[in-house]
Amino acid sequence: MASLSCLPHSLPVVSHSSPSSSSTKYLIPSNPPYPKHLRFDSRNSNHSKSFALRAALEEVSVVDPAPPSSSVSKGKPNPELIASLKLKLLSAVSGLNRGLAASEDDLRKADAAAKEIEAAGGPVDLSTDLDKLQGRWKLIYSSAFSSRTLGGSRPGPPTGRLLPITLGQVFQRIDIFSKDFDNIVELELGAPWPLPPVEATATLAHKFELIGYARVKIVFEKTTVKTTGNLSQLPLLELPKLPDGLRPPSNPGTGEFDVTYLDADIRITRGDRDELRVFVVS
């Protein structure tokens, strides 16, 4: 049987005092109970730990974890896919005379092609990409023209009221610094025979502001008409904005639209009357 002298000397020795005393005394030896060769030096211990840590770091390379693949690809559309979808959209609206000659089937194809590129391009954030709006844009398609109204899929003012005016090219000129937003329309006004038609350019001046990440609000200010061609020497005609009390309810003087796709050379918008418009940089 093992000798009791081999037990650790640190075990407490309990000394019972008189019954009136409830305290318990522990006799702790003043000298360390360990042999000299087993004593630990804190300095040596710290040095050993430091050495072990350095050795471990040399064996293991610490690399930051790669971000999830979704966060890497987010906001970076596939350029080849976008180029293909843009070509598909331009093909769908070509030959439709900006939508004036579009059939119901043409409208569906154009809308489907626009939705494809909108989905591939992701959400538009004009708070960071406002500079892409800057410049002169040419309208190449509007779903509103096919209904012979200016109201998209909902009723609007019929274009028949404008007869005998022939609608030419339509542009938008946007200045992000002055907040100017001008709709520029080339017109041809019929004249009694044998007089030639009168050519003119009407500019509908607006101011714009952002009311969301991709929504733009425009406020009408005035219309100016400038004759071109043989009558280009005539002075500019300015038509001021009607007072609020005289303005018809169908023409409040303001409008809103969402920019659903935008890059350096093409822009897609959807208006507050559900009309789809496609522009290219002019």
CATH 3.40.50.300 fits 86-281, yes or no: no
pLDDT computed for residue 15 by the predictor: 44
pLDDT computed for residue 165 by the predictor: 81
Number of H helices, E strands in the chain: 6, 11
pLDDT computed for residue 11 by the predictor: 44
Q: What's the farthest any 2 CA atoms get from each other in the chain?
A: 138
pLDDT computed for residue 148 by the predictor: 52
pTM of the model: 0.67
228 CB neighbour count, 10 Å cutoff: 14
Q: For the chain, give the percent of residues with pLDDT over 70.
A: 63
Residue 162 has pLDDT above 50, yes or no: no
Beta strands in 77-214 (DSSP E): 135-142, 165-175, 180-189, 198-210
Axis crossing angle, helix 79-93 with helix 104-121, rounded to the nearest 10:
160
Task: Name residue, tokens 């406020």.
Answer: 219
- The residue among 5 and 251 whose pLDDT is bigger is 251
Mean pLDDT in residue range 120-124: 96
Reference 178, options 134, 240, 132, 241; nearest CA is: 134
Mapping DSSP to helix (H, G, I), strand (E, B) and coil, where does residue 107 land? helix
- Say how far apart CA 157 and CA 7 lie, in whole Å: 106
Residue 187 has pLDDT above 50, yes or no: yes
pLDDT computed for residue 60 by the predictor: 43
Give 204's pLDDT tier (boundaries 50, 70, 90).
Answer: very high
Q: For the chain, give the percent of residues with pLDDT over 90.
A: 50
